[in-house]
Chains A and B, each alone.
Chain A
Amino acid sequence: MVSPIYLIVVILGAAFLHPLFEKAGKTASRVLVSAVLLFAAALPVSWFVYLTGSGIDAVIVNTAGFQAPLSINLRVGMEETLFLIMINTAALLGGLFFMLRSNPEWKGKVQVLFLTMLLGINGLILTRDLFNVFVFLEIASISLYALISFAKKGDAYEAGFKYMIAGGIAAALFLIGVIYIYRLTGTLNIDGIIAVSESAGGNPGASGILGGKAGVTAVFLVAAAMLIELKPFPANGWGVDAYEASDPGISAMASAVSATGIFFVFYKLIPLFSPDLLKLITISGGMTFFFSQLLAMKQDKVRRMLGYSSIGQLGLLILIAGLGNILNSSELLAGFSIPGIPISGGIFLLLILFAGSHLLSKAGLFWLSGIMNAENINGSGTNGLLRKRPAVAGLFGLLTAALAGLPPFPAFWAKWILIMALAATGNYFLTAVILLGSLIEAWYLFRWFLNYMKTEKDTGDIHDEIVPEDFPLENIEDASRAAGIPQFSSLRSIAAPFISALLLLAAGILPAISLLTANGPAGVDETILFLPLAALALFTVLDVLRIPIKLQVFAGIAVTAVYGAIIIPDLDGLRMIFGIIFIAGSAIQMFPLANREGRHPGLMGMLMAMIFSLGNLLVCKSSLGFFFSWELMTVTSFFLIARGEKASGASLRYLLFSLAGAFLILGGLAVGGSSIFADILPGQADTETVSTILLGLGFLIKMGSLGLHIWLPGSYAESEDDISTFFSTVLSKAGLYMLFITAGLFAAPLLFPGRAAGLFPQISLSSLLGWIGALTAFAGAFLALFKEDIKYTLAYSSMGQVGYMLLSFALMTQLGWMNSLYLAVTHLLFKGMLFVAVAGVIYRVKTRMMYQMGGLISRMPISFFTVLIAIIALSGVPPLTGFGAKWMLYTALIEKGWYLQAGIAMFASAIAFLYLFRLIHVIFLGQLKDEHRNVKEAPIWFLIPQVISIIGIMLFSMYPNTILKPLQNAILPYFPTGIEFDGYTVLSTLGYWNGNAVMFVTMGVFMVPLIWMLIVQRKNTQMVGQFNIVFAAERPYKPETTHFGYNFFAHYRTALGFLLNPGVTRFWKWTASIAEVTGSAVRKLYSGNIQTYVLLIVLYVTIFLLLLRGGF
């Protein structure tokens, strides 16, 4: 093994020799620095190989020929090695970034300072001598002050100065602490101090040498100094100033190298800390994490936001470190290991995952901010341009997702384990704080991402239709103008963030392997869950190879079909139904994508990943497997929505709500503890109510239930027209599926602990779900009524339909469940038809405003026919499938005794008629506009899924048993007694329905008048033109003034418009504003004035000490 001394020697030597090389030329010095950085990154790797190979715990190297207490010793254990690998790799990438960047040039003193900073951090990690820690800390800090000022701007000098003052205070505190510790223990060697304090008191801080007032204060001073270096809230203003003002490359290093290294020192010193101190440290860490996220949310400068985010992440690390003893008792954490790393269990693995993920992603984002010249969050001047740089955009998205802890990145796995361990040890409050903080973090990170991705037309806050002021005829022309490709300052240096993203991906797969394969904690092999990632990778490769989109779509359909053919046959009844919906439904609806031309990077990859993660919900066996697939589905669908032209606001809202839902589910899983995947049948649940409520809320968010629906209309409507259909017809049923397989939880009567138990004795959550479902059905239909924008109409309509499914599910009766599944299947057909047909119409007429269309039946008869069939099926008019749903719904509701819900459902279904008629009338009937006289029928790719769906609807309408019997069989395990069939007649306790007979009677009564009409009108009948109408003695002026379409249900608005008051939206805006106001209030602490900062540091230390000592 190469001695660690060489690490220090080589870096230091290079720093000293650098001026000589510089004399020889820029290249020589660059080669030197690169070689040293490479060496520094490679050496720990060699140690890693040595340590794992030899099985040695740690190698202690003494210096100066003396044994430890007399000399300084360096320790190379697995922990040091792993941190050094991470930090030095980041430094290597940092060097790469600087070197590839042309402006400012990478030369001179900066290189020296960079090396000395790295030297300091490496020394900090290796040394076991407390005073030596101080020395290396000073080396690293002083180098960093200088590096910060290197940007040569006023605020950079100022920031460097502030940093120096704060660092000076920390150093002074540290030194005083060290002096006292030396005085008390007689040694400066950390191991020695630990040994002395433990041998005397058994427990550091209790009664040992360091347990007295002096000892406590001494250890406190050391801890406080390290905390200050780690920038705790609120004593961290100087830190963010530095992140903001310095060169992005330096900020990256400050965050990735310096802060991570100092954190390791803190980690190393933890054995000295007493439980009381650790508790306070935990609190400080938690506060830092949470408030930094709030503050980051309020920032409008990119690097300041990233700075707060860095500080927040360090807070999280401190929190975990402080909770070490508690967390280590959790079973999950004890059994956790990462393949290839010999350490198993314990918080260290968590720390390495969080730290590694943060280090690479944050450095990557800092670099990227430099490359994109990103100063402001709002991204002025970059609007839409990033879309022309798909590689940069993709990288941006990857790094953001990694930082936000989304799958498959390391922080995702770490978060899962952390939350599970926290909940298992009863730390519910911290669980909530961490999840809330993570949510805020995802919010501001993706807001930044979306601001840079959005197009020029996108104002970023579009959640509802925007009806143009007047008739905008110019809207017809395609407004997508060619804009230039953004010029980035030095695109070459993107290699650095690119490599970080690759490393992050690789690092994310490792824990996944240990957690999701057969030797993981769940003990089941779930390798198939990686399929979405494989698909994403595969289609990304196809994108890179510039395979035409048509071929990609066909490949996608084929792959989906194969996937479905493999997994669906092995599923049990209920899962098979949903498998068909998810997989076959998606495959069919992919056809319209084949109509696209040109390049659509990421489209198919994300779509395939989304479909596969959705399908994987059906096959996952462990809670983690489920959560992984669920989150992956969320992320991929978010990126799909964000592709929309004006979808940035809506997609952000989608992400927020989806993540909030996912975190609620995570909380529910953590609190509930038991796996939810042994299908919980009604009447078998024993899980706590709190867990059930959390899970239920998570599922309801996905379904867009009333109150939690405000993400829905924008996401469905603003996503691309041929993509929306997937969200409405397929994705919205993921929540329903989860409700079905966890139904037992909701059927059980509510069990509240303690005094609340007596309050609601008989109520089960399912009755609450029933009301939510009924009101959602009503609200969806009612809101759809007044939309001029066809996609918003369909979006709200979907919301209402899912409400019916929820209502039927909540009945917890056989007929109810059958209807819920029946609706899920038929909704796929008719809503798919509507979305696809409408996408075809929009594709042809280039507007989404219904009143701007009209009379299209003569131009697009097939689309008209599809919409006609779909609205008949949706509205429940016999003889098509929809009536079956209505019949089962009302029968089941009345059987159950839910009369009022039945009344609401009937009202909702009547209102559905209104918007459906309006939809078909205003688009296809009435007056054809002049500019649409030459539009063609929708392209064949749009018609294929329509025709397939029509066939499906007709088949199910003619022979309802073909669908009813399989559905009945699917739920046989839950409801063993079947409903009765008498031939084609379905019998309930209340009534009966024979779909087949209805069909024949209808055909009969239709044929009679038709034949009559054909006979009496066989001659002298002529078709006339559009304006040949009896128009009250006047002549129609033009189609626009003759077509009745705008504000179609004005009288309804007059009568019931007060219901449109967006109370729910206001509630959520109010919630968001609380977060913003809190953020603003907290931000007032950060005056930018160094005196305030110093005061905050002093106050922080003083209050900390007072709390520790319990008073003066």
Chain B
Amino acid sequence: MKDIVLKALYTLISLFVITNYGLLLVGTMARVRAKVQGRIGQPVWQPYIDILKNNFKRTGIFHGVMFYLGPVFRLAGGLGTYLFIPAVFGSVVFVNFSFSGDLLLVMYFIFFGQLGMALGAGRGGHPYSPIGVARGLAQMTAFEVPFALSVIAIAAQYHTLSITELVAVQQGGVLNWIVFTNPLATIAAMISFLGMSMGNPFSVVIAPQEIPIGPPTEMQSSFLGMLQTNRAIFNAAKLVLFMNLYFGGATSIWMMIIKTFIIYLYTVVVGASFPRFRTDQAIRFFLGIPTLIGIAAVVLQMI
């Protein structure tokens, strides 16, 4: 019993940290983007204001049970993804529930929230929701290919799919990081990551959200609040995953913050520098050079 209470406490701490970090990260990066574009930008704490405002709106309308559950699924997906990843190497508090499964579990659990959200948005009856989902899913299938190849390559290299073990083998020096031991796999995965984080040039997925239609307008009030919360957590979870896989993980919470900040900054820099692809162009892009790099990484493990 004591164990369970303790584990629950650790989980709450872990979630608290990642939520706040995620929200601040979103706020910071919005500011960075504004600077690039020559604006002042929003305050760093703007995400907190948005979420609170949305959660305490007086009216809320919904389109049936599935619509209601969509954001719930979405946030559950974000929370789950994070909880299946050990966030800080060697930390009892931040080991989360990584004993439940390995890297494959995380890769597939990412879809849990996406699927639920897609269903909720679809239930809203708005045609732009499925258009956005169709674009997002299509792009997802494409960027999964180089990422999957990259994961296969490193699993083959280190004979493990356990994230904890993958972090363990990267300890003991910067040159042990997979970014140096397997640069091809890292390059393939980092290109995929651009698609995964849906920034430019792969942002056409969220285009329906920019004009005032689609899920963010249909999903108003606390629904929207939940989606915004999730965006912070989910984003942070993905960053932690990539940090663990390619950049040596983190032995302390500060190291985690620095590394994930830099990884996120990379997507923002790329995003600020490029225009966006159409969906079909994005698909072809991911199945082109990045996939070839991924195949090269895999083939290197075979010979």
Chain B contributes a number of interface residues (CB within 8 A of A) equal to 88
Q: Does B35 contact A (CB under 8 A)?
A: no
Contact of A926 among B68, B79, B127 (CB under 8 A): B127
Question: Could you say which residues of chain A place their CB within 8 Å of the CB of B155?
Answer: 894, 990
Asked whether A877 and B108 contact (CB < 8 A) given A989-B159, A992-B101, A1005-B76, the answer is yes
CB 8 Å contact bits of B119-162 with A (1 = contact, 0 = none): 10011111110110111011011101100110011011001111
Contact of A1013 among B68, B159, B160, B280 (CB under 8 A): B68
Q: Are B141 and A913 in contact (CB under 8 A)?
A: yes
A residues 416-447 near B (Cβ < 8 Å) are: none
CB 8 Å contact bits of B152-192 with A (1 = contact, 0 = none): 11011001111000000000000000000000000000000
Q: Which of B36-44, B195-203, B210-218, B252-260 lies at the interface?
A: B210-218
Q: Are B298 and A903 in contact (CB under 8 A)?
A: yes
Question: Could you say which residues of chain B place their CB within 8 Å of the CB of A886?
Answer: 104, 108
Asked whether A993 and B145 contact (CB < 8 A) given A857-B64, A925-B123, A1051-B280, the answer is no
Q: How far is the CB of B176 from chain A (nearest CB, A)?
A: 20
Q: Does B278 contact A (CB under 8 A)?
A: yes
Question: Could you say which residues of chain B place their CB within 8 Å of the CB of A899?
Answer: 149, 152-153, 156, 298-299, 301-302
Q: Are A1024 and B63 in contact (CB under 8 A)?
A: yes
- Among B149, B152, B278, find the residue whose CB has the most chain A CB atoms closer than 10 A: B152
CB 8 Å contact bits of B85-115 with A (1 = contact, 0 = none): 0000000000001011111110011011001
- Among B218, B283, B295, find the residue whose CB has the most chain A CB atoms closer than 10 A: B283
Question: Could you say which residues of chain B place their CB within 8 Å of the CB of A1082?
Answer: none
Q: Are B222 and A1013 in contact (CB under 8 A)?
A: yes
Q: Are B61 and A1022 in contact (CB under 8 A)?
A: yes
Q: Are A890 and B72 in contact (CB under 8 A)?
A: no
Q: Are A1031 and B144 in contact (CB under 8 A)?
A: no
CA distance A897 to B152 in the complex (A): 10
- Among A918, A1009, A1026, find the residue whose CB has the most chain B CB atoms closer than 10 A: A1009
Question: Could you say which residues of chain B place their CB within 8 Å of the CB of A883?
Answer: 104-105, 108
- Which residue in chain A gives the minimum CB-CB distance to B61? A1024
CA distance A1023 to B294 in the complex (A): 48
Q: How far is the CB of B175 from chain A (nearest CB, A)?
A: 24
Q: Does B2 contact A (CB under 8 A)?
A: no
Q: Does A1030 contact B (CB under 8 A)?
A: yes
Q: Does A545 contact B (CB under 8 A)?
A: no
Contact of A877 among B79, B109, B213 (CB under 8 A): B109
Q: Does A200 contact B (CB under 8 A)?
A: no
Q: Are A925 and B298 in contact (CB under 8 A)?
A: no
Question: Could you say which residues of chain A place their CB within 8 Å of the CB of B141?
Answer: 907, 910-911, 913-914
Question: Could you say which residues of chain A place their CB within 8 Å of the CB of B295?
Answer: 900, 903
Q: How far is the CB of A1049 from chain B (nearest CB, A)?
A: 6
CA distance A903 to B294 in the complex (A): 9
CB 8 Å contact bits of A10-47 with B (1 = contact, 0 = none): 00000000000000000000000000000000000000
Q: Are A890 and B64 in contact (CB under 8 A)?
A: no
Q: Does A182 contact B (CB under 8 A)?
A: no
Question: Could you say which residues of chain B place their CB within 8 Å of the CB of A890?
Answer: 104, 152, 161
Q: Are A998 and B101 in contact (CB under 8 A)?
A: yes
Q: Are B148 and A907 in contact (CB under 8 A)?
A: yes
CA distance A855 to B137 in the complex (A): 21
Q: Are A897 and B101 in contact (CB under 8 A)?
A: no
Chain A contributes a number of interface residues (CB within 8 A of B) equal to 78
Asked whether A914 and B137 contact (CB < 8 A) given A990-B159, A1016-B55, the answer is yes
A residues 980-1036 near B (Cβ < 8 Å) are: 985, 989-994, 997-998, 1001-1002, 1005-1006, 1008-1010, 1012-1013, 1016-1017, 1020-1024, 1026-1032
Q: Are A990 and B160 in contact (CB under 8 A)?
A: yes
Q: Are B76 and A925 in contact (CB under 8 A)?
A: no
Q: Are A991 and B104 in contact (CB under 8 A)?
A: yes
Q: Does B75 contact A (CB under 8 A)?
A: yes
CA distance A894 to B144 in the complex (A): 17
Q: Which of A63-71, A356-364, A386-394, A868-876 lies at the interface?
A: A868-876
Asked whether A991 and B101 contact (CB < 8 A) given A1005-B80, A1023-B61, the answer is yes
Q: Are A857 and B66 in contact (CB under 8 A)?
A: yes
Q: Are A906 and B144 in contact (CB under 8 A)?
A: yes
Q: Are B119 and A1044 in contact (CB under 8 A)?
A: no
Contact of B100 among A994, A1016, A1045 (CB under 8 A): A994
Q: How far is the CB of A131 from chain B (nearest CB, A)?
A: 80
Q: Are B140 and A913 in contact (CB under 8 A)?
A: yes
Q: Does A920 contact B (CB under 8 A)?
A: yes
- Which residue in chain A gives the minimum CB-CB distance to B283? A1055
Q: Are A1001 and B80 in contact (CB under 8 A)?
A: yes
Question: Could you say which residues of chain B place their CB within 8 Å of the CB of A998?
Answer: 84, 100-101, 105, 109
Q: Does A902 contact B (CB under 8 A)?
A: yes
Asked whether A991 and B108 contact (CB < 8 A) given A1021-B60, A1023-B63, A1044-B130, the answer is no
B residues 202-255 near A (Cβ < 8 Å) are: 211-213, 217-218, 221-223, 225-226
Q: Does A482 contact B (CB under 8 A)?
A: no
Q: Are A921 and B118 in contact (CB under 8 A)?
A: yes
Q: Are A887 and B72 in contact (CB under 8 A)?
A: no
Asked whether A1026 and B298 contact (CB < 8 A) given A894-B152, A985-B99, the answer is no
Q: Are B302 and A1030 in contact (CB under 8 A)?
A: no
Q: Are A1008 and B104 in contact (CB under 8 A)?
A: no
Q: Are B148 and A1006 in contact (CB under 8 A)?
A: no
CA distance A1027 to B211 in the complex (A): 19
Question: Could you say which residues of chain A place their CB within 8 Å of the CB of B125?
Answer: 855, 925-927, 1026-1027, 1029, 1042
Contact of B102 among A864, A926, A992, A1030 (CB under 8 A): A992
Q: Does A878 contact B (CB under 8 A)?
A: yes
- Among A914, A925, A997, A1017, find the residue whose CB has the most chain B CB atoms closer than 10 A: A925
CA distance A877 to B66 in the complex (A): 18
CA distance A990 to B159 in the complex (A): 6
Contact of A925 among B100, B122, B278 (CB under 8 A): B122
CA distance A1048 to B59 in the complex (A): 33
CA distance A985 to B130 in the complex (A): 37
CA distance A922 to B149 in the complex (A): 32
Q: Are B161 and A894 in contact (CB under 8 A)?
A: yes
CA distance A1005 to B73 in the complex (A): 9
Q: Does B29 contact A (CB under 8 A)?
A: no
CA distance A921 to B125 in the complex (A): 10
CA distance A1017 to B134 in the complex (A): 29
Q: Are A1021 and B62 in contact (CB under 8 A)?
A: yes
CA distance A864 to B79 in the complex (A): 26
Asked whether A1010 and B127 contact (CB < 8 A) given A993-B102, A998-B101, A1051-B278, the answer is no
CA distance A918 to B71 in the complex (A): 19
CA distance A902 to B104 in the complex (A): 12
Q: Does B194 contact A (CB under 8 A)?
A: no
Question: Could you say which residues of chain A place their CB within 8 Å of the CB of B119?
Answer: 868, 920-921, 925
Q: Are A1009 and B161 in contact (CB under 8 A)?
A: no
Contact of B138 among A887, A1030, A1051 (CB under 8 A): A1051
Q: Does A787 contact B (CB under 8 A)?
A: no
Q: Are A917 and B68 in contact (CB under 8 A)?
A: no
Q: Does B279 contact A (CB under 8 A)?
A: yes
CA distance A922 to B127 in the complex (A): 11
A-B CB contact pairs (8 Å), 8 listed: A917-B134, A917-B137, A926-B130, A985-B99, A991-B162, A993-B101, A1013-B72, A1016-B222
The 7 closest A-B pairs by CB, nearest first: A991-B102, A925-B122, A991-B161, A906-B148, A1055-B283, A910-B141, A1051-B279
User: Using a CB–CB distance below 8 Å, which chain B residues touch chain A?
Assistant: 55-56, 58-64, 66, 68-69, 71-73, 75-76, 79-80, 83-84, 97, 99-105, 108-109, 111-112, 115, 118-119, 122-128, 130-131, 133-135, 137-138, 140-142, 144-145, 148-149, 152-153, 155-156, 159-162, 211-213, 217-218, 221-223, 225-226, 278-281, 283-284, 287, 294-295, 298-299, 301-302
Known: A920-B122, A1013-B222. 19 other contacts (CB 8 A): A878-B80, A886-B108, A891-B104, A899-B149, A902-B148, A914-B137, A917-B134, A925-B122, A925-B123, A992-B102, A993-B105, A1006-B72, A1006-B76, A1008-B79, A1010-B72, A1013-B223, A1016-B225, A1024-B61, A1052-B280
